Amino acid sequence: MVTLNHYLILSAILFSIGAAGVFLRRNLITILLSIEIMLNAVNLTFVAFGRALGSADGQIIVFFVMTVAAAEAAVGLAIVISLFRHRESLNPDSFASLKW
């Protein structure tokens, strides 16, 4: 029997994998991919709760989250491209020139 708890635990696992990716990876594109994993975990939570509470609102919020994620991916990748043009590197540590 698959219950709501199963979905919540799965979503928590996916979210923590995404968060680990953001902290541990040193490649700007992989960091953006990990952010997408986190957003997907949240989507799963919304849809699961929407199903458990019997309303379609969960799916509508997922619709908006996906749209915002698309916009954010586009702008994020544009920033990555212009950063790459400056330093020829995708490692966030190479953009540390403002550190004292």
Per rule CB under 8 A, is residue 95 in the interface with another protein? no
Distance of CA 87 to the CA centre of its chain: 25
Compute the distance between CA of residue 62 and CA of residue 59 in angstroms, rounded to an integer.
5
Per rule CB under 8 A, is residue 21 in the interface with another protein? yes
Per rule CB under 8 A, is residue 44 in the interface with another protein? yes
Per-residue binding string, another protein, 50-79, x by CB under 8 A, is: xxx-x-xxxxx-xxx-xxxxxxxxxx-xxx
Per rule CB under 8 A, is residue 35 in the interface with another protein? no
Closest to 39 measured CA to CA, from 67, 75, 69: 69
Compute the distance between CA of residue 12 and CA of residue 57 in angstroms, rounded to an integer.
21
Distance of CA 70 to the CA centre of its chain: 11
Binding site for another protein (CB under 8 A): 1-10, 12-14, 16-18, 20-21, 23-27, 29-30, 32-34, 36-37, 40, 43-44, 47-48, 50-52, 54, 56-60, 62-64, 66-75, 77-82, 84-85, 89-91, 93-94
